[in-house]
Amino acid sequence: MTAFELTRLLPGDHFAQALRADVRHGLTAPAKSLPPKWFYDKRGSELFEDITRLPEYYPTRAERAILTARATEIAQATKARTLVELGSGSSEKTRLLLDALRTLGTLDTYVPVDVSESALREAGHALAADYPELAVHGVVSDFTASLALPRAVHGPRLVAFLGGTLGNLLPVERAGFLSALRAELSHGDALLLGTDLVKDPAVLVAAYDDAAGVTAEFNKNVLNVLDRELQAGFDPDDFDHVALWDAEQEWIEMRLRSRRAQRVPIPALGLTVEFAAGEELRTEVSAKFRRERVAEELHAAGFALRHWWTDPEGRFGLSLAEPV
């Protein structure tokens, strides 16, 4: 059996320093905001897994339907020897690609990349056990800060960026990310990209504001992260969960709205943050796409869109692109 290997590309204090910088910058800005990556402590990750099973939250099911139908076609188009997955998490959907590439007989290496070492270890050991012929090499890295794909792997490589995570980046961030990714790839490699699609705003909003309140708890949990890591004085009950559709930008925003005027101390930063009654803190942007926009953004970064698939209801898009 091939042993699971792990490489850390981040210094030990990376997340502590990044959190401090993001909070100081985001909570002192005229329009307060935080990056969505701070949702995902242990509790936040558990809540997100719960969200993916909610009736209102369609993206996970829709993307899985595409992968179930198209994994063999993806394998045949790429003939990848190495599958690299950015933001791999539990790697559950990835098994559909692993199975297809294994059946084709080309795959020998899987490289899951994630910020969570614990998630990588859990998924990596399980995959190494289930795919004994596969070399599983986990990489602890924050692709939103620095993209560095491992070089010592066999090509061609297929890089998978699934789940619609690209939409959490602002347009200028998306352009920078895709360009950096293109610079890491060689001719013959490929990018498999998941993007949630523009649809009825009522369907979109419901996916981020479910009837059971799971997404509201997930959103508010970021305040628990700040309280624990920075000794902040947030009370999640002092904020309301807000999800809205921005038709001009074609994205969903999640926000936390202060129920009252309040001053919140953050002792670890020597900072006190003031909120007016009704003032909002943006915690996530989730852009929704059209095929034309995906093709344009890929082209601008040096990719050519070769294949485009959607689920039967046209809710989610999966694109296969090649560097040009």
Give CA–CA dist 164/12, Å, rounded: 28
Of the candidates 193, 299, 170, the residue with the CA atom closest to the CA atom of residue 246: 170
| pLDDT tens, residue by residue, 238-290 | 999 999 999 999 999 999 999 999 999 999 999 999 999 999 999 999 999 99
pLDDT at 145 over 80: no
Beta strands in 176-250 (DSSP E): 190-196, 239-246
Calculate mean pLDDT across residues 124-137: 90
151 pLDDT band, cuts 50/70/90, is low
Is pLDDT at 146 greater than 80 in this prediction?
Answer: no
DSSP letter for each residue of 104-165: HT---EEEEEES-HHHHHHHHHHHHHH-TTSEEEEEE--TTT-----SSSPSSEEEEE-TTG
Structure tokens at 258: 């202060």
pLDDT at 94 over 80: yes
Q: Is the pLDDT of residue 88 over 80?
A: no
Kindly report, residue by residue over 187-205, the tens digit of the pLDDT. 999 999 999 999 999 999 9
Average pLDDT, stretch 31-49?
92
CB 246 within 8 A of CB 286: no
Token pair of 109 as six digits: 């290496």
CA separation for the pair 172, 181 (Å, rounded): 14
Predicted pLDDT at 120: 85
* pLDDT computed for residue 2 by the predictor: 58
Residue with tokens 């800060």: 145
Q: Tokens standing for 268?
A: 């670890």
Task: Write down the pTM of the prediction.
Answer: 0.93
Q: What is the residue type of 168? A: N
Tell which wins on pLDDT, 89 or 242. Answer: 242
> What is the pLDDT confidence band of residue 123, given thresholds at 50, 70 and 90?
confident
Q: What is the pLDDT of residue 82?
A: 94
Mean pLDDT confidence for 304-319? 98
For the cut 90, the answer to whether the pLDDT of residue 15 exceeds it is no
Q: What pLDDT does residue 1 have?
A: 45
- CA–CA–CA angle 121, 126, 132 (5° rounding): 115
Cα(243)–Cα(219) distance, integer angstroms: 10
Reading the block at residue 303, the tokens are: 């990719």
Q: Is residue 146 a contact partner of residue 13, using CB atoms and an 8 Å limit?
A: no
CATH (residue range 1-230+289-324): 3.40.50.150
Q: Report the pLDDT averaged over residues 101-124.
A: 89
pLDDT band at 152 (very low <50, low <70, confident <90, very high): low
Report percent pLDDT > 70 for the chain. Answer: 97
Side-chain-side CA neighbours of residue 28 (13 Å): 12
Average pLDDT, the chain: 93
